[in-house]
Amino acid sequence: MGNIKKYSTFRQENPRMVYDSYHYELTERGLELDFTFRIGDKIVFHPTALIERREFLDYNGKTELLDKLVFNIGMIELISYWKCLCPPIVEIACGSLTDEAKAFWLKTYWNGLGEFFYTNGIEETPETFMKIENLTATIHNPQILNSQLPTLNSYIVPIGGGKDSVVSLELLSAFGRPLPLIMNPRGATIGCVEAAGYTMSEVAVIRRTIDPKLLELNAQGCLNGHTPFSAMLAFYTLVISMGSGRINIALSNESSANESTVPGTSVNHQYSKSLEFENDFRRYVASEISPVFNYFSFLRPLSELQIAMLFARFDKYHDVFRSCNAGSKQDIWCGNCAKCLFAYIILSPFIAPDRLNAIFGKAMLDDPGLQTYFDELTGIADVKPFECVGTISEVQSALSMALTRWYPNERPYLLCNYKAMPPATPLDTLYSEHNLSPEQLNLLQQCIDKNN
C-alpha cells in the first residue's frame, strides 16, 4: 500500500488521538516525567524522560510552573506519536489550550512535519491535517509565582556534539561560565564538554526515551519521518532554566537554518531551528508561561562559514566533535553522507587538507561516491539534502575559498569539473535579524573582527 493511501486509510480507521495525562515526580534519580497518549482503545503510548539530579537544579516548591512546563513538553512529544497514524483530531484531556495556543501548536506541527509530508508524498493543507480540541472547558493556566521563575542573568548552552554549540560555549564564557545541557549523552557531546573543562556532574542531562510501541508500529508499516526535534528540545530547556535559575537559554542555530530544503516551498528540514520558529516560541512562552525566560540563538547573526572560521581556532575540539547522524551511535564520521561532506566543505577554507582528512578519516573531496551529495549541496541538483546543512551560497563560497588557498593547481576529484563561484558569503558582516542584546551582539562582532 502506498503512503498516500496509507495516510487516508489510517485517518479513517483512527479518527482521534488523546493526550490523556502527564505526570512528574522528584526521585533519587532526579525529575522523572511520563506521558500517556492514546489512539483509539488499543494503542497507548507511554514515553518518559529523566532530568538527572544535580546540585545546581532545584525543583522544590515550584509545582505550578512545573505543571505548566511538563504539560507543554507533552504537547511537543505528542507529534512523534501522532505521525504514525495521523489522526485528524487531537483531543486534550489533561488541560485546555487557548485559541492562540492552539494556533501556535498547529503551526509548529505543520511546519515541523513539512519534510514528513513531502518525503511520504502526502498532499495536505494546514487547515485540514489536524484539529485540536479541548475536552475540558477549564483553560490550563495555573498561577505562576515569581519565586518559581529564574532570576540569574547567566547562560544555558545545549550541546549537540557539533561545531556550532562548541562556538557558543566558548564565546559565551566571556559572560561567566555557561551551563552545558545535553539530551541523551553520547560520545561527541561528552567529549566536547570534557574538552571544555567540565565534568558530567557539572552538566545538565536529560534522558528521553521513546515508547517501544512506536518502533513496533513503524516496523509494521505505519508512517514514519522527520519531526521537529529542536522544538522538543526548546520546551525541555525551560525546565532546566527553571531548575538552575538561569534566565538565558542560548541555542546555536545560525542564519542558514532559515533556508528551505526544497527551493520554492516552505519545506525546511531545519524549521524548528529557524528564526520564524524562534520568534513564535518566544511569543508563546511569554504569553502562555512567563516572559522571564529568554530563549534565543546566539549564533543567529552568523553564517555557517563564519561559525566554521571561529571553530577552526578551537583545535582542542577537532578530534572529538561529530555532526554525522549516521555515525552518531558509533561516535564516528561515517564519511558517506551529506552531513559529513558539508562539515568537511565548510571547514575546508580554514583547516589544511591533511589535517581535515585526519579529522574525517578520508579525503572526502576525492570520493566519487559523494557526487550526488556534492551536487545537492552546491545547487547543481534541484533539492538540498534533508540534513542540517548550510545554504548553497555558503557551500559555494567555502569551495571558492578552499580552491584559492589549497588547490591553485591540482584539484581533488569532486572539484575537477566544478565551476567555482566568487565568494558571496561575507566573513565580516553580521545578519541583522536576531534576538540578541546589544552586549551579546557586540561580543560576536568583536570575535568576528578578531578572526578576519
**144 or 240: which leads in pLDDT:** 240
* Res 141: pLDDT: 65
Higher-pLDDT residue of 141, 431: 431
Residue 315: predicted pLDDT: 95
Nearest CA to 191 among 202, 183, 200, 204? 200
Higher pLDDT residue, 451 or 177?
177
Report the distance separating Cα 24 and Cα 35, nearest Å: 9
Q: What is the mean pLDDT of residues 132-160?
A: 85
Beta-carbon contacts of residue 199 (< 8 Å; ≥ 6 apart): none
Looking at per-residue pLDDT, the higher value among 182 and 226 belongs to: 182
140, pLDDT greater than 60? no
pLDDT of residue 329: 83
**Chain-centre distance for alpha carbon 80:** 14
User: Exposure string (b/e) for 155-168, b if CB count within 10 Å is 16 or more?
Assistant: bbbbbbbbbbbbbb
Distance CA 121, CA 8 (A): 12
One-letter amino acid identity for 301? P
Which of 341, 336, 320 is CA-nearest to residue 198?
A: 320
Query: What cell numbers appear for 404 in the block?
Result: 584559492
Residue-level pLDDT at 409: 85
Which residue in 107, 94, 93, 119 sits closest to 228, CA to CA? 107
- Confidence check: pLDDT of 138 > 70: no
The contacts of residue 173 (CB under 8 Å, 6+ apart) are none
The percent of residues in the chain predicted with pLDDT above 70, rounded, is 98
**Residue 418: band (very low, low, confident or very high) from pLDDT cuts 50, 70, 90:** confident
The DSSP H or E segment spanning 396 is helix 392-406
- What number is the average pLDDT over the span 10-22? 97
Domain ranges in the chain are 3-297, 331-429
Looking at per-residue pLDDT, the higher value among 147 and 442 belongs to 442
* Distance separating alpha carbons of residues 367 and 370, to the nearest angstrom: 6
The average pLDDT across 429-444 equals 95
- Is the pLDDT score of 252 beyond 60? yes
Q: What is the pTM of this model?
A: 0.94
Q: For all residues of the chain together, what is the average pLDDT?
A: 93
Give me 342's grid cell: 558539508
pLDDT at 374: 93
Residue 255 or residue 353, greater confidence: 353
Check whether 393 has a pLDDT greater than 70. Answer: yes
- Grid coordinates standing for 225? 519521518
Distance of alpha carbon 17 from alpha carbon 44, whole angstroms:
10
Task: Give residue 268's pLDDT band: very low, low, confident or very high (50, 70, 90).
Answer: confident
**pLDDT confidence of residue 387:** 80
Inform me whether the pLDDT recorded for 424 exceeds 70: no
Q: Taking residues 21-26, what's their average pLDDT?
A: 97
Q: Are 253 and 165 in contact (CB under 8 A)?
A: no
Express each pLDDT in 74-117 by its tens digit. Answer: 999 999 999 999 999 999 999 889 999 999 999 999 999 999 99
Residue range 223-227: mean pLDDT, rounded: 92
Q: What percent of the chain has pLDDT over 90?
A: 80
Torsion of CA 262, 263, 267, 271, to 10 degrees: 110
The one-letter amino acid code at 364 reads: M
- Checking if the pLDDT of 388 tops 90, the result is no
Closest by CA position to 424, among listed 447, 405, 398, 444: 398
pLDDT of residue 304: 93
